[in-house]
Amino acid sequence: MVLCTFVPASDTCNTCDGQLLLRPFYVFPCGHRFHSDCLVAALTPMLSLEQQTKLADLQRQFTVVSNKSDETISTDGSTSMSTKDQIKADIDDLIASECLYCGELMIESIDKPFIEEGDYERVMKEWA
């Protein structure tokens, strides 16, 4: 099954409200849309330490490979894809497997306070 969606030029990122088409982006079936860097920034604190480490490593690898020639690796013996494409797919699996706002990570964080205990006094002084 192939899913497709139309992205009007006027669409904006649900995180920064910037024009979506100006930078790489993700669009989820629920309709939420995010610039890649906005999604990574918002999602990273919700990831486990192991996932954060893996994401940072993949991003480093992606930067290194992007600056080199395109090497090809075999994924299942019949299909080959570039190393860069494989790393990008691994990053996508980690950060774009579900919507930031509608996915399991958001549901699991429902009991987290909006203001961390250590920041409470500072925030209350700012609001006074």
Angle of CA points 41, 33, 19, to nearest 5° = 85
pLDDT given for residue 108 in this prediction: 80
pLDDT given for residue 69 in this prediction: 60
CA dist list (Å): 127 to 24, 112, 123: 36, 21, 6
Q: Please state, in angstroms and rounded to a whole number, the distance separating the CA atoms of residues 34 and 29.
A: 12
pLDDT given for residue 80 in this prediction: 58
Q: Please state, in angstroms and rounded to a whole number, the distance separating the CA atoms of residues 79 and 61.
A: 22
pLDDT given for residue 46 in this prediction: 86
Q: Please state, in angstroms and rounded to a whole number, the distance separating the CA atoms of residues 14 and 28.
A: 11
pLDDT given for residue 109 in this prediction: 77
Walk along the chain (128 residues) in steps of 10 and give the mean pLDDT of each run. Answer: 83 96 94 95 91 95 82 50 89 92 83 80 86
pLDDT given for residue 66 in this prediction: 85
